[in-house]
Structure 1
């Protein structure tokens, strides 16, 4: 019997060192290929900037201005990627994910023929005022038999007015739509798209045993004989946050481990004195699984903490309501709203209790429903 070909379009880029991004891409690809014998799922690499659709002149100007500004800024500041970490991320993707062998442009995407396409997960539908990342709405009408989304995220709480008409038109060609956050279902309902399902992030489709099967212990753990540590995982700038956590936890006998330059970029003049600068996705999993506490402002940092039943708190990000909303949505589902705090409230951890039996029960129901959704789109 001929296998179904399923193409997955997500946010995966081999020029990125985003831990949650790579692990969610791995999880969906791995789950489908291991659980459906009649399917070959391949995750497509999409060329950055291909298929950008401008919905206003202002949006067009803004797009090119921001891209030029970023390139100039990195050149002037001498900002370079942390090369070994980037290599380790690429090795992880090439070894563990069934991916296309090159980045595809829009013209090639239009020529490829697949039985089905799935877009998701992560912030594949992030919205920019005045332009849309078109490939992630699957507008390949002639060559794709059926289109679906799995746990697609907008990453924000509003669709710009100038983008609504096209998004509604493209999503109208989907067989089924599912999103990662409940707020996204409401956003789509507001523009006239109903019957949208709320499903779990792909990382929850795999069991803790499966994740531990690919985890690696970082060398620094044995080299420095670290046996009790707090893992602090923050997106964006984190130096001041780490300093505060060190001041709080080191007096209690904990090491504070974190990943410097979490975006994988470093200025030429900057130096690093920590062994985690080259942290791989497999080591990141190990660090969460073996921490005494996890302190994070990351959605995936939260998800893995719950999955591994680690005592955690989420730090509210200032001026980042969009990211906070993803975390709030998940915390609300597991009834752990009290675990979102400001960094200055870290002393509250002493009084906290974590009801993991309740949390796991909540996500198990969610996971079961999400797997049923995948069954419905792969088996239909």
Structure 2
């Protein structure tokens, strides 16, 4: 989505800051560590995982190819061939989350590989509202070099503003900057039009009570349940990014704990309920990205410990969406020109 936004300004090359280690070799190593009694199950499940991974890799090579540049902490940014004026756009989801990575990796994702190029960020995500002391100097050093800074979380803006004396804006997630019609252009008939289903997309695991809510809704509305990220639902698990979009576009209802599941539910005008993850209760448990999303669209009521969220008025949501799109596009236009 971010590349699509940037295409209007010129040729776009993508630099992958973190390589995906989920290769065939790593899968084979994973299998080799298992006891022989589990080999059949592991082989089968990893075959499903690999099918999904291949779809992700194919989608990435088609829509966001890693081309035009080499980048490394040691050598910096090096073009594969002659290029014109360079603007480095850092974005977006979780790119500045320091959790689980080294300081060197964080420095890279903050543009530490750049030489004298102009650097901006669009909807960069910190993933948290506070940073370890060891990370603060890395943020401060690199953000001083940026000409324009935008993030997708109000909490992230507040945390970064404490580190650097610069204007920081909150802009709309890139996925929401594209229309539903634009997203549907990438779908490939993964879902039959006759399929009636409730879609679930959980990064955690629903509690027993939440699962009962899902089953009850499906039964009352004569729908089956399709479960993304659940290896027991092989038909749905193998969905690639374009299939992810299509699954949301055709769902009768969505249950989730995922930020981007909320974004695509909004885009396709789906009624949805966001369940707190097991062991967490109340509005204070929502992550900062969701807090910002619900604040922007007045949707705090969709977050539930259990039960069913109130019906969403998409007339009001669409008005806010158009407003935030314009504000975010105006910000990007200004940042790219100055």
User: TM-score surpassing 0.5?
Assistant: yes
8 Å Cα contact 2:256/2:274 also seen in 1: yes
Equivalent position SS for 2:331:
helix
Q: Counterparts in 2 of 1:86-125, with a 5 A limit?
A: 86-100=53-67, 104-112=71-79, 115-125=86-96
Measured in 1, the distance between the counterparts of 2:279 and 2:110 equals: 28
Measured in 2, the distance between the counterparts of 1:356 and 1:337 equals: 14
Measured in 2, the distance between the counterparts of 1:137 and 1:362 equals: 30
TM superposition score normalised by structure 1: 0.73
Structure 1 unaligned runs (5+)?
Answer: 1-26, 50-70, 267-271
| Counterparts in 2 of 1:127 and 1:323: CA distance versus 1, 3 Å | farther
Q: Counterparts in 2 of 1:235-274, with a 5 A limit?
A: 235-237=203-205, 243-252=211-220, 253-261=222-230, 272=232, 274=234
Equivalent position SS for 2:255:
strand
Equivalent position SS for 1:156:
coil
8 Å Cα contact 1:156/1:323 also seen in 2: no
8 Å Cα contact 1:74/1:80 also seen in 2: no
| Counterparts in 2 of 1:312 and 1:273: CA distance versus 1, 3 Å | closer
Aligned-pair CA distance for 1:207? 1.2
Residue in 1 that maps onto 2:175: 203
1:153-210 alpha-carbon deviations (Å, 9 max, x no partner): 1101111112212211111011110001111111111223331011011111211110
8 Å Cα contact 1:293/1:311 also seen in 2: yes
8 Å Cα contact 2:93/2:123 also seen in 1: yes
Q: CA RMSD in A?
A: 2.9
Q: Counterparts in 2 of 1:185-334, with a 5 A limit?
A: 185-218=157-190, 221=192, 226=195, 228-237=196-205, 243-252=211-220, 253-261=222-230, 272=232, 274-318=234-278, 324-334=287-297
Measured in 2, the distance between the counterparts of 1:296 and 1:217 equals: 23
Q: Counterparts in 2 of 1:51-200, with a 5 A limit?
A: 75-76=33-34, 80=46, 82-100=49-67, 104-112=71-79, 115-128=86-99, 131-132=102-103, 133-142=106-115, 144-200=116-172
Equivalent position SS for 1:84:
helix
Q: Counterparts in 2 of 1:33-52, with a 5 A limit?
A: 33=7, 35-36=8-9, 39-48=10-19
Equivalent position SS for 2:112:
coil
Structure 2 unaligned runs (5+)?
Answer: 21-28, 36-41
Measured in 2, the distance between the counterparts of 1:355 and 1:176 equals: 34
Higher fraction of strand: 1
TM superposition score normalised by structure 2: 0.82
